[in-house]
Amino acid sequence: MRIRRADAQALLEGARAGYPFEVCGVLLGRGTAVTAVVPVANREGASPRVRFEVAPEDLLRIQREARDAGLEIVGYYHSHPDHPARPSARDGETAARGLSDGVLHVIVAVDAAGRTDATAWVYREGEAGFEAEPFEVE
């Protein structure tokens, strides 16, 4: 995955600003090149510290805007407050229920001191699950 430095910084800053809650959003671009990061409100009402939810209407709006800009949704991101930047069991369950085959997933770990770490993953249906994807900042 390739991402511009400003967009990578936006991911980290968003995770810090949203702490101790999970933040989430959509990655736009082409293939594995991310050219825009779109923050989305976390609509998870019961447990926003450990879960996130993107509302269907938000996703539809972003799909339309991406199409109008000549881009496509290449993936999603969310933060893991006080947890590692790797997919959780719940992330795997969610990806398996959705249309995630071949889609980028960026996870940003963040802690109370504001330390962050970002990793990229691609979900593969079936036994493979999440596979690590190089995270290249340009």
Task: Write out the catalytic residue numbers.
Answer: 22
Q: How many residues are present in the chain?
A: 138
Half-sphere exposure of 118 (CA within 13 A, CB side): 25
